Amino acid sequence: MSQIVIDGVSWALLIAGSILVLVGALGLMRMPDFYTRMHAAGITDTLGADLILLGLMVQAGFTLVTVKLLLIGAFLFFTSPTSTHAIANAAYTAGLRPSISEWDTDEPPEGPERDHGEEDPRP
Amino acid sequence: MTIANFIDMAFLVFLGITAFAILKLRALFAVVMLSSVFSLVSAGLLVHLDAVDVAFTEAAVGAGISTVLMLATLALTARREKAPTRTHAVPLIVVFLTGLALVYGTLDMPRFGDPQAPVHTHVAPKYINDTEKEIGMPNIVTAVLASYRGFDTLGEVTVIFTAGIGVLLLLAASIREPDGLRIQTMDHHLVLRVVTKVLIGPILLFALYVQFHGDYGPGGGFQAGVIFAAAFIIYALVFGLENARAAVPGQAVRVLVACGVLLYGGVGVVSFLFGENYLNYSVLGSTQVSGQHLGIILVEFGVGLTVAAVMVSTFYAFAGQNPPIGDEDW
Amino acid sequence: MGGSDFLGLFNYWIVIVLMMLGLYTVVSRGNLVKKIIGLNIFQTSVFLLYISMGKVAGGTAPILTGDPKEVYSNPLPHVLILTAIVVGVATTALGLALVVRIKNAYDSIEEDEIQAADDEMEFGVEPAAKDGPP
């Protein structure tokens, strides 16, 4: 009985992790801008990988393998956000800026009257 | 078609797509990153093919050290490949004919996974059956590598040593001496500094674990040496080459390159002194099994020492080159 | 050839395709770094070929588990390829060091530009009207 519970929980975690990895990959292909793509890729590395590792840990039970998986999860938890940050920081230092959508700087869409007395301050 | 076949096919198709992208892309940074992806995915495929030691080495070496060295070369040479100006009909035909000849050759090969293939029925059963009582360690690959085929590994450590010397000979003349003026660190990147400080200790510990645990699980000298070098390389990348060279001087690393090979060869000479053949570890301990254990630990340590020192000194040689742009232009 | 032949051999065929991709990169591209990367692809696919030959169906990694009826994959190709991988990275490092020196000497890592500079130095050939350095 408990084997079914363990299997079910680990299946759910593995599938959730795989869906997040797929979402990350889809975002990487479809996002328009570099920074939004980095945001999508970050999901793959952190939450996707950690959920898959949790699913594997549930399968492994209380053995040495679980401790090793826990350590791998801890290292991934440290390093993948750092690598995402490093890439985004390198792009920012190189001069790439996030693209701001056009209607923020041109006419805003039809809406309630807003009292913008001055020019839009954004470049 | 079983699940295992499907997984194999998926891995291989992914590798093929990556290789095709490497062929077609002209931005060299992307090509280097894709070659790192290629190494990592092939490491995954190797795990699926039951080659865990090999996968470990491929991931550490191919996706780690190789990528760092290629990026260092890119920083010193070019960023893009020139557009091809001539047609490639002749190479295409040659490559196609070679591929056809190889496929024709595989038709006679034993089928994938066949337990009755000749390669599995002659020497391999002897190694699998005798390792337990002659050497007494669970990892058959380490036993074969360090004991049964110890001469091969000695020659191959010497190859790594020679390649390290070759790199030093080629590049040492133009290594920039530390003059205290140029700062090429990432001091202003707080996140990178903190995380690197947190990680370097566990990386070194893990390298030692892999080194000495190679008898019982996947591991051994090669992987440990590469992981050990990776810790120093990440320190040099984040805190600057001058700091790294102050912590681990180039001269000391060069001495260590030779010490590893000396240790390996020395173990063989000690066997001589006991009256046995070269690299016969059985005489190093009171029983054959304990002698083999001691011998394998010592030679694996020698291998790890040389590999780590060669990787670190190669990185120093590449990173210490005078860069084509000055620090003011960063 | 039946279906079982395909299942037994497709591993080798796709690896041969990878090998040929690597070989084509080495032969047809003129950029030296790309040639070295193509050589790496060729090497890695040769490793995959060897390890595929060592796999035993239903086997496991060649680490003794104490179970006397366990089937292990062949450890011998693993040993060979382990050494081959590290030798491969050593020769890649040497090749890359050579590329750095070539760049210092010729100021280019494109094969045709290096060839043209050599021809000019050897025979005093006037370079044809072509674009400047990229």
pLDDT at residue B119, rounded to an integer: 80
Is C9 part of the contact surface with chain B (CB cutoff 8 Å)?
yes
Chain C nearest CA to B243, separation (Å): 23
User: Would the pLDDT of B183 be above 70?
Assistant: no
Distance CA C50, CA C56 (A): 13
Name the pLDDT band for B313 (thresholds 50, 70, 90): very high
Task: Decide if C128 is inside a domain.
Answer: no
pLDDT at residue C4, rounded to an integer: 63
User: Would the pLDDT of B175 be above 80?
Assistant: no
Q: What is the CATH number of the domain that holds C38?
A: 1.10.287.3510
Q: How many CB atoms neighbour CB A89 within 10 A?
A: 15
Chain B nearest CA to A27, separation (Å): 19
Separation of CA B169 from chain center: 21
Contact B192 A82 (CB under 8 A): yes
Chain A residues near residue B199 by CB distance under 8 angstroms: 75, 78-79
pLDDT at residue B330, rounded to an integer: 46
pLDDT at residue A90, rounded to an integer: 84
Are C and A neighbours with ≥3 CB pairs closer than 8 A? no
The per-residue DSSP string of B3-65 comes to: HHHHHHHHHHHHHHHHHHHHHH--BHHHHHHHHHHHHHHHHHHHHHTT-HHHHHHHHHIIIII
Residue, of B183 and B143, whose pLDDT is higher: B143
Task: Decide if C105 is inside a domain.
Answer: yes
Nearest residue in chain C measured CA to CA from B44: C48
Query: Stretch B293-320: mean pLDDT, rounded?
Result: 92
pLDDT at residue C128, rounded to an integer: 55
Q: Tokens 């110890």 sit at which residue?
A: B150
Q: Are C47 and C85 in contact (CB under 8 A)?
A: yes
pLDDT at residue A119, rounded to an integer: 46
Task: Decide if C8 is inside a domain.
Answer: yes
Chain C residues near residue B74 by CB distance under 8 angstroms: 33
Query: Stretch B8-12: mean pLDDT, rounded?
Result: 91
Is B26 part of the contact surface with chain A (CB cutoff 8 Å)?
no
pLDDT at residue B77, rounded to an integer: 85
Q: How many CB atoms neighbour CB B120 within 10 A?
A: 23
Domain that holds residue C38: 3-123
Question: What is the average pLDDT value for chain B, to the nearest integer?
Answer: 87
Is A92 part of the contact surface with chain B (CB cutoff 8 Å)?
no
pLDDT single digits (tens) B83-133: 777 777 888 999 999 999 998 988 888 888 888 888 888 888 888 888 888
Best residue in B11, B23, B161 to probe C by mutation, most C CBs within 10 Å? B23
pLDDT at residue B179, rounded to an integer: 61
The per-residue DSSP string of B232-278 comes to: HHHHHHHH-HHHHHHHS-HHHHHHHHHHHHHHHHHHHHHHHHTTS-T
Q: What's the residue count for chain B?
A: 330
pLDDT single digits (tens) C23-82: 999 988 888 999 999 999 999 999 999 998 888 888 888 888 878 788 888 888 999 999
Task: Decide if C133 is inside a domain.
Answer: no
Q: How many domains does chain C have?
A: 1
Amino acid at B70: M
Task: Decide if C134 is inside a domain.
Answer: no
Distance CA C134, CA B227 (A): 38
Query: Stretch B41-56: mean pLDDT, rounded?
Result: 92
Name the pLDDT band for B186 (thresholds 50, 70, 90): low
Chain C nearest CA to B190, separation (Å): 31
Task: Decide if C131 is inside a domain.
Answer: no
Contact C8 B113 (CB under 8 A): yes
Contact A75 B192 (CB under 8 A): no
Are A and B neighbours with ≥3 CB pairs closer than 8 A? yes
Task: Decide if C129 is inside a domain.
Answer: no
Is A86 part of the contact surface with chain B (CB cutoff 8 Å)?
yes
Contact B69 C31 (CB under 8 A): no
Task: Decide if C132 is inside a domain.
Answer: no
Contact C14 B13 (CB under 8 A): yes
Lowest mean pLDDT among A106-110, B24-28, B186-190, B212-216: A106-110
User: Would the pLDDT of B322 be above 80?
Assistant: no
Name the pLDDT band for C134 (thresholds 50, 70, 90): very low
Contact B50 C109 (CB under 8 A): no
Query: Stretch B56-78: mean pLDDT, rounded?
Result: 90
Contact B78 C25 (CB under 8 A): no
User: Would the pLDDT of C2 be above 80?
Assistant: no
Stretches in chain A below the pLDDT threshold 70: 1, 101-123
Q: Residue B281 gets which letter from DSSP?
A: G
pLDDT at residue B321, rounded to an integer: 83
Contact C30 B82 (CB under 8 A): yes
Task: Name which of C29, C73, C96 is nearest B70 (Cβ-Cβ).
Answer: C96
Is B10 part of the contact surface with chain A (CB cutoff 8 Å)?
no
Chain B residues near residue C56 by CB distance under 8 angstroms: 50, 113-115, 120
Distance CA B76, CA C111 (A): 17
pLDDT above 90 covers a percentage of chain B that reads 43
User: Would the pLDDT of B325 be above 60?
Assistant: no
